[in-house]
Amino acid sequence: MTKFSSILPSINSDEEYEQLNLKDELFKNAAREILTRHHLPDEPLSLLEGTNIVFSYGSNRIIKIFPPIHHSQFMSESLVMKHLYNKLTVNTPAVEFEGEITGWPYIIMNRLDGIPLEGLWEDLDHHNKVIIMRELGSLIREVHSLPTQGLEAIDCHWDQFITNQINQCVAKHKSTNLPKVLLEQIPEYIKSMVGYLPTIKKPVILTGEYTPMNFLVKQKSGIWHIEGLIDFGDAMLGLPEYDLLGPGAFLIQGDKELLREFLVSYGYSHEDLTDKLSHQLTLLMLLHKYSNLRVQIRIDNWKEKVSNLNDLEKLVWGT
């Protein structure tokens, strides 16, 4: 049997991790060692796409292995998965086993029913999209209403977090090749809009990942519905509005009806759907930890449709 100490390499940077061949037999061997450790049967392993190393195991389990540099993601995933389990109207995975192998933490969880919304969304009819957006708004409201006791370790300390995001905003978007005309407007836009950000009263559980890659949907009577929610590696405690950004960029795609249905289902009244809210959401979209507007705004030819950040605000978040 391979010794644990010889299985996985030491990783000290994202660059080193990216250079690894994630399809290498090395990782399957590590997964098999994990199974042996927990006295689980030898069943087929299939590598899935993901930032971390994710295997489908057998017919009903997932193995997720995190490089040492992603230890904070492991901690968030484990904490939040346990916290959410059996508390929502949709399914979330249960942690069956967890541990560490040569410095690489791992989780074995049950596999949920359903298929990812990504890849299916574009082919859904508009009526079904409305249903999904209503369900999504309600789901985020459910998560935000949960108590946060026991999750102090993932508190982002919002005021400090958002200050850091403001300070890094221009450099961040320059690195993603945001069009120069928009990049040049960021400092003045932040200065004029930062006063619209709400004061955080009570931090809520943020997944930061309400994107079509992290919902599982299932068809019932010819209609697709949200069945499960996965991936909590980027979860933190912070300002509720921060979690509304993924749906706006990835799913709503400038459709004003979908935007209104989503926001009202989340809990806003129709009277709340004002320019002030559009200002808040646009600014947060620019300041998001993983903001990359070139790939995240899924509106055809959006860069040709805007000449300034106010245009972008109206296109994405104008109600």
pLDDT tens digits, 135-172: 999 999 999 999 999 999 999 999 999 999 999 999 99
Average pLDDT score over residue span 166-189: 97
CATH of residue 8: 3.30.200.20
Which whole-number Å values give the CA distances from 152 to 34, 75, 76, 156, 203, in the listed order?
A: 29, 12, 11, 9, 10
Percentages helix, strand, coil for the chain, rounded to the nearest 5? 50, 15, 35
Same domain for 101 and 147, yes or no, is no
Last residue of a domain, one of 110, 139, 164: 110
Range of the domain at 242: 115-317
Residue 17 in this model has a pLDDT that exceeds 90: no
pLDDT above 90 coverage of the chain, percent: 88
Cα–Cα dist 66/91, whole Å: 23
Last residue of a domain, one of 81, 110, 139: 110
Last residue of a domain, one of 79, 110, 141: 110
Cα–Cα dist 58/180, whole Å: 49
Average pLDDT score over residue span 34-56: 93
**Which H or E element spans position 110?**
strand 104-110
CB neighbour class for 124 (10 Å; exposed up to 12, middle 13-18, buried from 19)? middle
Same domain for 265 and 168, yes or no, is yes
Cα–Cα dist 301/286, whole Å: 19
The three-state secondary structure class of 209 is: coil
Question: Residue 225 in contact with residue 127, Cβ under 8 Å?
Answer: no
Residue 2 in this model has a pLDDT that exceeds 50: no
Same domain for 88 and 136, yes or no, is no
Same domain for 175 and 309, yes or no, is yes
Provide Rg for the chain, Cα atoms.
21
pLDDT tens digits, 237-280: 999 999 999 999 899 999 999 999 999 999 999 999 999 999 99
Cα–Cα dist 61/74, whole Å: 17
pLDDT at residue number 19: 83
pLDDT tens digits, 46-81: 999 888 999 999 999 999 999 999 999 999 999 999
Residue 1 in this model has a pLDDT that exceeds 70: no
Instruction: Enter the pTM of the model.
Output: 0.93
